[in-house]
């Protein structure tokens, strides 16, 4: 029987999964007045803003990121880029979906680049 996961446990699973794929985690739970970023990481030369979703299936996780949430993530990412003087760096949005059984699935460039 799968163990119930909370948001913090899901983010830890996601960060470990990303690291196993060669990502370098730069920050977690970045909060600003423009929104929150679950994970900020580097994948090679690309800066990735990673949204972590805990759902029964990865398709449900991706579907849960509606246009309103995408705009919120974009605003938070823009703030991060400006605050850290990284506006010229290539970047994208990824999603890590965590199924009830704790299995992570990465969706690269989930809804387009910044």
Residue 107 pairs in a beta bridge with 95
Domain harbouring 26, CATH code: 3.40.1350.10
The answer to the question of residue 102 being in a domain is yes
Domain count, the chain: 1
pLDDT along the chain (114 residues), means of 10: 66 96 96 92 96 74 79 94 92 90 89 59
The answer to the question of residue 114 being in a domain is no
The answer to the question of residue 84 being in a domain is yes
The answer to the question of residue 113 being in a domain is no
pLDDT, residue 8, reads 80
pLDDT, residue 113, reads 47
pLDDT, residue 1, reads 38
The answer to the question of residue 1 being in a domain is no
Q: How far is CA 24 from CA 28, 66, 91, in A?
A: 12, 27, 14
pLDDT, residue 11, reads 92
Q: Residue 63 belongs to what domain range?
A: 7-107
Q: How many residues does the chain have?
A: 114
């Amino acid at each position: 029987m799968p163990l119930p996961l909370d948001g913090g446990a899901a983010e830890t699973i996601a960060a470990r999964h990303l690291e196993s794929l060669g990502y370098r985690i730069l920050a977690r739970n970045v909060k600003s007045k423009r929104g929150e970023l679950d994970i900020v990481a580097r994948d090679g030369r690309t800066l990735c803003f990673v949204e972590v979703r805990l759902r029964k299936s990865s398709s449900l996780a991706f579907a849960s990121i509606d246009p309103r949430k995408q705009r919120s993530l974009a605003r938070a990412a823009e703030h991060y880029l400006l605050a850290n003087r990284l506006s010229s760096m290539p970047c994208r949005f990824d999603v890590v979906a965590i199924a009830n059984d704790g299995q992570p699935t990465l969706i690269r460039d989930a809804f387009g680049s910044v």
